[in-house]
Amino acid sequence: MKTISRFALLALVASLAACSALESDKIDYKSAGKAPTLEVPPDLTQLTRENRYAVPGGAVTANAYQAGLANAPGLPTAVSSVGDVKMERAGTQRWLIVNRSPDQLWEPVRDFWQESGFLLTTDQRNLGIMETDWAENRAKLPQDIIRGTLGKFMDSVYSTGELDRFRTRLERTPNGTEIFISHRGMEEVYSSSRKDQTAWQPRASDPELEAEFLRRLMVKLGVSQEQSKVIAAAGAAPQTAKVANVGGQPVVQINENFERAWRRVGLALDRTGFTVEDRDRAAGTYFVRYVPPNPNKSEPGVFAKLFSFGSSKTEAPLKFRILVKGQGETSTVSVLNESGAADSTANAQRIVQVIADDLK
């Protein structure tokens, strides 16, 4: 008998279930701990071998976390709140402001992710960072008699071909804590013309998925379901970021003060896959690693093109500093090289564009 490939069987199941509706408005995550190992950028793979860099996509020093947080005044723009919990929104970005200390919030936030079907691969209270494992949203699968019968015995055959992981960052403020959730996604695609092999590659972050988990976290923190839905539906602030050239150097200009710009740039870096080694809020500096695109490989997607995901050749990561400078109600984001000098190379231009695109 010929062996039926996993994708052939999936195609058969999909055709039989064509009339069934996907429960796209539901979230039902299942840990993907037993799934095949994902191909991740070589830069992230090497960092996970070092204890200090246990967070793929971003790690900070304890000193920077404890001493590098400046005072942040309350910001009324696009803010909705209930009790001591607020959701603030700018463009596609959202975050929570809670009038409780990070110590008070750590256990509830940890419980929240575990109750949502995730395991935590990073749980660093002293850094204010936790990250989930890769998990699959099983609510995207057809809810029909075929899955009900076949899925019980061959659950591994049923797959959405997508995996998600979430990074949560808690930052201390004078009045409490800011909570940021960033999404990273992977999708399974055919890697051969015969469609008999597959590989995992990154897919774009999903701001609406981030918003939904923030809304659910609000409920965990004491906000009712009805109130959380009203808050999450609040209108966005207008787009405020644009790319410019100042003195021959590419920059992002943001029509917001330093505190707001600092938060938004940090979330943009989390989202877009930079490896944040350290941060110094007092100096307005993020220390990042960046893997430049390989001009010799075949043309990939936009995200892979920028960050060399799935590259067969290991590119040496470059170190940069992302500098956020505020002046009144405006801020400028620029790229510095490893030694702290202004950078106007093609890589700096790419980095500036990626940050600006995410801030829109």
Cα distances (angstroms) measured from residue 102 to each of 87, 97, 177: 17, 11, 6
Evaluate whether residue 1 is within a structural domain: no
Evaluate whether residue 213 is within a structural domain: yes
Alpha helices by DSSP H, listed for 17-90, are: 42-47, 62-67
Higher pLDDT, 356 or 360: 356
Out of 13-27, 269-283, 342-356, least confident range? 13-27
Evaluate whether residue 334 is within a structural domain: yes
Higher pLDDT, 318 or 235: 318
Crossing angle (nearest 10°) for helices 258-271 and 346-359: 110
> Would the pTM of this model clear 0.85, i.e. be above it?
no
Q: Is the pLDDT of residue 267 over 70?
A: yes
Question: What is the distance of C-alpha 94 from the center of its chain?
Answer: 12
Query: CA dihedral in degrees (57, 60, 66, 71; nearest 10)?
Result: -50
Evaluate whether residue 248 is within a structural domain: yes
Beta bridge partners of 322: 286, 335
| 161 Rama sector, left if φ>0, alpha if ψ -120 to 50, beta otherwise | left
Q: Domain containing 132: what range?
A: 6-359
Instruction: Tell me the average pLDDT across 259-275.
Output: 86
Tell me which amino acid residue 325 is. K
In sequence order, the 6+-apart residues with CB closer than 8 A to the CB of 286 are 265, 266, 269, 276, 278, 279, 321, 322, 324
Share of the chain above pLDDT 70, in %: 65
Instruction: Domain count for the chain, please give it.
Output: 1
Per-residue pLDDT tens digits for 77-115: 444 678 899 998 887 889 999 999 999 999 999 999 999
